[in-house]
Amino acid sequence: MDGANADVNMAQVRDLQASLFPICTKGSFLNNLLNRTLRNSQVDLNADGDPRQLESKLRDVKEVFPLMKEVDCPYQAARWPMECQVIDDPVIHVHPTSGSYSEKEPLYKFTGREIQPKQVGEDSGEVIFKYYPISSVNYFCRSAVGGSACTQAHSSQDTSDLIFESRFESGNLAKVVKITSTYYELSLRSDMYTNRHTQWFYFRIENTKKNIKYRFSIVNMYKSESLFTAGMKPLLYSTKDASQKNMGWRRCGENIAYYKNDAPNGDSEDNPRYIFSFLLEFPHDMDTVYLAYNYPYTYTNLQDYLIKLKDDPVKAVFTKLRVLCRTLAGNNVHYLTVTEPCQEEDPKQKKVIVLTARVHPSETPSSWMMKGFIDFLTGDSSQAKELRNRFIFKLIPMLNPDGVVVGNSRCSLNGRDLNRQYRSVIRDAHPVIWHTKLMLRRLIEERQVVMFCDLHAHSRKSNIFMYGCEGKGHEGRKLQEQIFPLLLHKNAPEKFSFEDCNFNIQRSKENTARVVVWLMGVENSYTMEASFCGSSLGSRANTHLGIKDFEDIGQTFCETLLDYYNEDPRNERMKLKICSRLMEQGSNAEQPKNIDISDYSSDESSSSVCEEIVDKLSFEDDATSLTQLSIIVPPSTPVVPKRKSRKKKRKSKDCSTKIITL
């Protein structure tokens, strides 16, 4: 019976893969249609003649940047949309390995006396900085290295005014209105080619004066809930402190408030804006400082890191850097393969673990977690060597470099959230997602992919936690998806919260990487979220999470992989005991229960324990198979799938049966 179920599940997985990647016979109508439509942004059907004769109306945009032919991935300067202005001065930040780098910075403590100034606007103030990329059309057309030359954006005549700038990588300040000499209202630029998603900010201020308290109000924040109401502070970087004290980013700000903006914004009343207001005192006179929502990690930072990794003669033996594809703007999407070279045994026996990060540009903690993961995995510790000997790691450190370059919060240059496009079959609209799925499909066909994890950051919750996929309908697998996050919590109890995890599949998440990869056959498919703010656990309660914390959780992830995939056969029996205790404590997908596993020893397990646990694995109450999920894979052709009509028939039969019974 188990074998039959396995065959059915594998058949369903193959059907899903075929739907995600339709196979078209060469020369067929569908093949010709896809070949033409995927090369162009728009096609027209000639209704007067043969409807199969298509005429392209817009130019080719995808073959302008063919895939790189070089085996070694040379450095490539970031490409920008042509309408974007970019300053010539490169922005470089130091990230010290000691001192403030590892300090625990406390959250802001509210006094109840925080003021909430209403927006004044430019009618009563003076616009001293204004920069909106202007395009003749509201969609991406073409790109260039370095974008366009800068024009004058700072318009103040008062030499005592602060000087603002954001026309650099990941910057996104749009407008500054001077209300008084110490009060400035700031507006952020929406994601390119949208009017939404103003959360991330990163900009530069010059001409500073110390011992003066300035108030800054960002007046067009997009989200109604924010961690600024939980005590999160913005980040400040002083170039003088960096050069004199080797000091990097640090938390700043007092009298912090986050509240609804009552001023009309020109949008629908259903989309109100919010104000983030705070006081700031600069550390030096005539300093150049940067303010940011979280620790920046740019596309250039990633390339510098990857090239350094590739050029290391020791790490180059087990680390291969390749280009997965190119983005809409022509930026390279890199991926790493990390594994020890196979000598005698069949390399296909090695299992695969896949990690991705930075699909949302503003979620910079995901890049720092990925860096910590790679640093540990490519290190010379015995644990790292064991991981490389046992597994093949496929790592995509930055899924959305276009969004990172232009300073978007969430979207790519097509104005879409890429983490909602994993069921799309249109390659040219979302090339990175298409090639990521293709890589996963090939890996699944050739080897066993045992884990997938997509790294993110969270703007409303504290701690680090995971989202998983509840394994309903898989006998002997109930609550198995909770074991790895539980072990990760035990290894990082002051940063990772198991009780904040969730394993339910919501309808709004059906197009995400986690769910689609799970449907492709990877049982342990996760999203790991790190708070932009801080921790509420143990001695780290009420403190911010910093760069070192994010890197450390990447290292802990590696260590937990060894715990979870312990080759000792008794380890499987220990997992069954953990599942048994989770069920006894009432752990479920939406409310996982943290349990004590310190008394578990794999050598205490016995076959009787296994039998007892198997008896408890009853699925009568929630027998939901893979085919009964509400997720519907989009068809590969315009034809309505027959499966849908069969569902309707089954429903009608069920209804008639109920009527007869009544």
Residues contacting 63, CB < 8 A, separation 6+ = 39
- Let me know: does 154 contact 128? Beta carbons within 8 Å: yes
For 166: left if phi > 0, alpha if psi spans -120 to 50, otherwise beta; the answer is alpha
The residue behind tokens 């380890």 is 571
Distances (CA, A) of 168 to 55, 64, 91, 523: 40, 25, 7, 41
Distances (CA, A) of 661 to 584, 620, 651: 36, 22, 15
No. of helices (H) and no. of strands (E), the chain:
14, 24
Task: Report pLDDT digits (tens) over 579-603.
Answer: 889 998 999 999 999 998 876 544 4
Dihedral in degrees, nearest 10, Cα atoms 264, 267, 272, 274 = -70
End-to-end CA, the chain: 34
For 650: left if phi > 0, alpha if psi spans -120 to 50, otherwise beta; the answer is alpha
Instruction: Determine the Cα–Cα distance for residues 384 and 561; give it in Å rounded to an integer.
Output: 11
What average pLDDT does range 355-367 have in this prediction? 98
Instruction: Determine the Cα–Cα distance for residues 453 and 581; give it in Å rounded to an integer.
Output: 25
Instruction: Determine the Cα–Cα distance for residues 44 and 57; give it in Å rounded to an integer.
Output: 7
CB atoms within 10 A of CB 615: 8
What average pLDDT does range 450-461 have in this prediction? 97
**Residue 355: closest CA among 439, 236, 254:** 439
Q: What are phi and psi of 480, to 5 degrees?
A: -60, -35
Which range has the worst mean pLDDT, 17-21, 102-106, 163-167, 228-232? 17-21
Per-residue pLDDT band at 86 (split at 50, 70, 90): very high
What average pLDDT does range 502-531 have in this prediction? 95
Predicted pLDDT of residue 152: 81
Tell me if residue 240 falls in helix, strand or coil: helix
Residue 571 reports pLDDT greater than 80: yes
What average pLDDT does range 276-292 have in this prediction? 98
Predicted pLDDT of residue 478: 82
Instruction: Determine the Cα–Cα distance for residues 635 and 177; give it in Å rounded to an integer.
Output: 50
Retrieve residue 594's tokens.
């943290």
63 is catalytic: no
Instruction: Determine the Cα–Cα distance for residues 255 and 116; give it in Å rounded to an integer.
Output: 9
Instruction: Determine the Cα–Cα distance for residues 299 and 356; give it in Å rounded to an integer.
Output: 15
Which range has the worst mean pLDDT, 34-43, 91-100, 510-519? 34-43
Query: What is the set of domains in the chain, with CATH numbers?
Result: 81-292 (2.60.40.3120), 308-469+505-565 (3.40.630.10)
Catalytic residue among 165, 169, 529, 551: 529
The residue behind tokens 């959250």 is 107
DSSP 631: -
Q: Which residues lie across from 44 on neighbouring strands?
A: 55
Q: Between β-strands 534-535 and 543-544, what pairing exists: parallel, antiparallel or unpaired?
A: antiparallel
Helices 547-564, 365-377: axis angle to 10 degrees equals 50
Q: Which helix (H) or strand (E) holds 251?
A: strand 250-251
Instruction: Determine the Cα–Cα distance for residues 39 and 393; give it in Å rounded to an integer.
Output: 32
Q: Which residues lie across from 527 on neighbouring strands?
A: 454, 467
Read off the pTM.
0.81
Per-residue pLDDT band at 67 (split at 50, 70, 90): very low
Instruction: Determine the Cα–Cα distance for residues 38 and 60; give it in Å rounded to an integer.
Output: 9
Instruction: Determine the Cα–Cα distance for residues 513 and 360; give it in Å rounded to an integer.
Output: 12
pLDDT over 90 percentage in the chain: 64
Residue 46 reports pLDDT greater than 50: no
Q: Please return the burial class of 187, using the count of CB atoms within 10 Å of its CB with bins 0-12, 13-18 and 19+.
A: buried
Instruction: Determine the Cα–Cα distance for residues 218 and 187; give it in Å rounded to an integer.
Output: 6
Which range has the worst mean pLDDT, 53-57, 403-407, 468-472, 498-502? 53-57
Instruction: Determine the Cα–Cα distance for residues 514 and 277; give it in Å rounded to an integer.
Output: 36
Tell me if residue 250 falls in helix, strand or coil: strand
Which range has the worst mean pLDDT, 336-345, 405-414, 499-508? 336-345
For 241-272, b/e burial (b = at least 16 CB within 10 A) is bbeeeebbbbbbbebbbbbebeeebeeeeeee
Predicted pLDDT of residue 353: 98
- Who wins on pLDDT, 387 or 64? 387
- Who wins on pLDDT, 138 or 288? 288
Task: Report pLDDT digits (tens) over 292-331.
Answer: 999 999 999 999 999 999 999 999 999 999 999 999 999 9
- Let me know: does 344 contact 382? Beta carbons within 8 Å: no
Q: What are phi and psi of 218, to 5 degrees?
A: -85, 115
- Let me know: does 155 contact 207? Beta carbons within 8 Å: no
Please give the mean pLDDT across all residues of the chain: 83
Residues contacting 358, CB < 8 A, separation 6+ = 297, 364, 366, 367, 370, 397, 398, 399, 400, 404, 455
CB atoms within 10 A of CB 427: 17
**Residue 406: closest CA among 62, 144, 184, 218:** 144
Residue 39 reports pLDDT greater than 80: no
What average pLDDT does range 217-230 have in this prediction? 96
Residue 358 reports pLDDT greater than 70: yes
Instruction: Determine the Cα–Cα distance for residues 375 and 73; give it in Å rounded to an integer.
Output: 19
**Residue 119: closest CA among 234, 231, 272:** 272
